[in-house]
Structure 1
Amino acid sequence: MKYIIYFNQEWVGEHSEEWFIERGPLAGAVVEEMKDAGVYVFAAGVEEDLSKAFSADATSGTVVVTEGPYTENREFLGGLTIIDVADDDAAKMWAGKIAEACGWPQEVRQVG
Structure 2
Amino acid sequence: MTKYLISFPSEAMVVPEEEFEAVVEASHAVIDEAKAAGVYVFGGGIDEGVAPVLVAGDGTVTEEIYPGHLVPNGGYTVLELPSREAALEWAAKIAVACRCPQEVRQFAYDPAS
Give the TM-score normalised by the residue count of structure 2.
Answer: 0.80
Task: Verify: 1:33 aligned to 2:49, yes or no.
Answer: no
The residue aligned with 1:10 is 11
User: Shift in Å at residue 90 of structure 1?
Assistant: 0.2
**What 5-or-longer segments of structure 1 have no aligned partner?**
none
The residue aligned with 2:52 is 54
Residues 37-77 of structure 1, C-alpha deviation per residue, up to 9 Å, x if partnerless? 1100011011122xx2232154xx8664223x526988642
The residue aligned with 2:95 is 99
**What 5-or-longer segments of structure 2 have no aligned partner?**
109-113
User: Shift in Å at residue 11 of structure 1?
Assistant: 1.2
SS for the counterpart of 2:100 is: coil
Aligned residue type for 2:11? E
CA contact (8 A) 2:46 2:72 kept: no
Note closer, same or farther for the CA distance 1:82–1:74 as it changes in structure 2 (3 Å cut): closer
Give the TM-score normalised by the residue count of structure 1.
Answer: 0.81
Aligned-residue Cα RMSD (Å) equals: 2.3
SS for the counterpart of 2:82 is: coil
Aligned residues: 106
Aligned residue type for 1:89? E
The residue aligned with 2:111 is none
Q: Which has the higher strand share?
A: 1
SS for the counterpart of 1:47 is: coil
Aligned residue type for 2:46? V
Aligned residue type for 2:19? W
Match of 1:81 among 70, 77, 82: 77
User: Shift in Å at residue 34 of structure 1?
Assistant: 0.3
SS for the counterpart of 1:48 is: coil
